[in-house]
Amino acid sequence: MSRASAEINLSAIADNLKFIKSKTNAQVLAVVKADAYGHGLLPVARAAQDAGADWLGTALLEEAITLRNGGITKPIIAWLTPVGEDFKAAINLDIDLSISSTELLNEIVLAGKSVKKIPRVHIEVDTGMSRGGVGDDWQIFLEKLSISAKNNEINIVGIWSHFARADEPDEGMNKEQLNVFEDRIKSADAAGIKAEFIHIANSAASLTSKAAHKSIIRWGIGLYGLSPDINNLGDSKSLYLKPAMRLKAKLHLVKAVKAGVSVGYGGTAAAKSDTKLGVVTLGYADGVPRNANNLAGVFVDGKRAPLIGRVSMDQFVVDLGINSLAKTGDEVIVFGDGSSGEYTIDEWAKASGTINYEIVTRIGPRVPRIYPRE
């Protein structure tokens, strides 16, 4: 192993996909945006496709293009595509595009005419999150959309939206959003727009709300074996999910120190007793949160060693304990599924004041992704 690596268990990816397929009658869209949540775009997409994913979804168009050029044959949708993107390439590659404004509608229609091919589109509706999607100008937008559809300028494949609080199943806003979404579908239907696919469920709603499943569910964080919200929904194990990423590094140095010595930048931590410290070959340049505290650390020599002091750009320090047998060059597990006693992604998230999504997606390109054969 080099100084660090992220081992990705593609069998776990496949199992997580098959698990949710067994729980729904809807088609399953595997969300592989953000380099497959840091797990590697093409390897994960291929594993998901082979495991039965009906769709692949990305935020960025360049990721969707990479998927199609990389051999993905299932339908692909890209949903964060600002005006000025290469829509001609997307249309030629049969990539579905999301539309959330008149400006975007007009540009995609023009791109379709330029390549003499009808674009496949999904209309994003804002149902209360106040982020993406057509909002209060829905009726005005619907009139223009209807004209484009009647003129065969676009093929309206889907209508979709996104929950703001699906990871809080009892929150009333979920029902409110679902009601708004269904009203928008009815108004589109009345305008002669009958989309084949309707989708609003993310991972949290896929796990908790059958009413939200509609014709497609979007399986995001769950694909990677992580809980959408450990506090409200439980951890991976309780949800029958298998975390797919294990982050490893090496001990660059092991040294004995006396009680009271300062550790790291700013003198924010000190050894509480005589101990051994280990310098780990990862830092915030690799995506390790700088603000992580001693609730996180590494697993080495058969036990946990908590972080001590601030995370640096390329390294961080752990307290190995005075009796540790760990030595320079030893491999450490930064996080994994916890089955060996190592810290989990959720524990690192808690120690960093963030969510598991951020922990995995921020692991940077200096860390090679490894796909072990099982």
Question: Where do the domains of the chain lie, and which CATH numbers do they carry?
Answer: 10-224 (3.20.20.10), 245-370 (2.40.37.10)
Q: pLDDT value at position 113?
A: 98
Written as tens digits, the pLDDT of the chain (374 aa) is 689 999 999 999 999 999 999 999 999 999 999 999 999 999 999 999 999 999 999 999 999 999 999 999 999 999 999 999 999 999 999 999 999 999 999 999 999 999 999 999 999 999 999 999 999 999 999 999 999 999 999 999 999 999 999 999 999 999 999 999 999 999 999 999 999 999 999 999 999 999 999 999 999 999 999 999 999 999 999 999 999 999 999 999 999 999 999 999 999 999 999 999 999 999 999 999 999 999 999 999 999 999 999 999 999 999 999 999 999 999 999 999 999 999 999 999 999 999 999 999 999 999 999 999 75
Query: Is 175 known to be catalytic?
Result: no
Q: pLDDT value at position 342?
A: 98
Q: Enter the tokens of residue 201.
A: 């469920």
Q: pLDDT value at position 2?
A: 85
Catalytic residue of the set 21, 33, 250, 276: 33
Task: Give the predicted TM-score (pTM) of the model.
Answer: 0.97
Query: Is 33 known to be catalytic?
Result: yes
Catalytic residue of the set 113, 186, 194, 265: 265
Q: pLDDT value at position 9?
A: 98
Dihedrals φ, ψ of 337, to 5°? -85, 0
How far is 103 from 256, CA to CA, in rounded Å? Answer: 64
Neighbour count for residue 291 (Cβ, 10 Å): 11
Nearest Cα neighbor of 166 from 202, 131, 198, 199 is 202
Q: pLDDT value at position 374?
A: 56
Q: pLDDT value at position 310?
A: 97
How far is 245 from 243, CA to CA, in rounded Å? Answer: 6
Q: pLDDT value at position 92?
A: 98
Q: pLDDT value at position 350?
A: 98
How far is 359 from 345, CA to CA, in rounded Å? Answer: 7
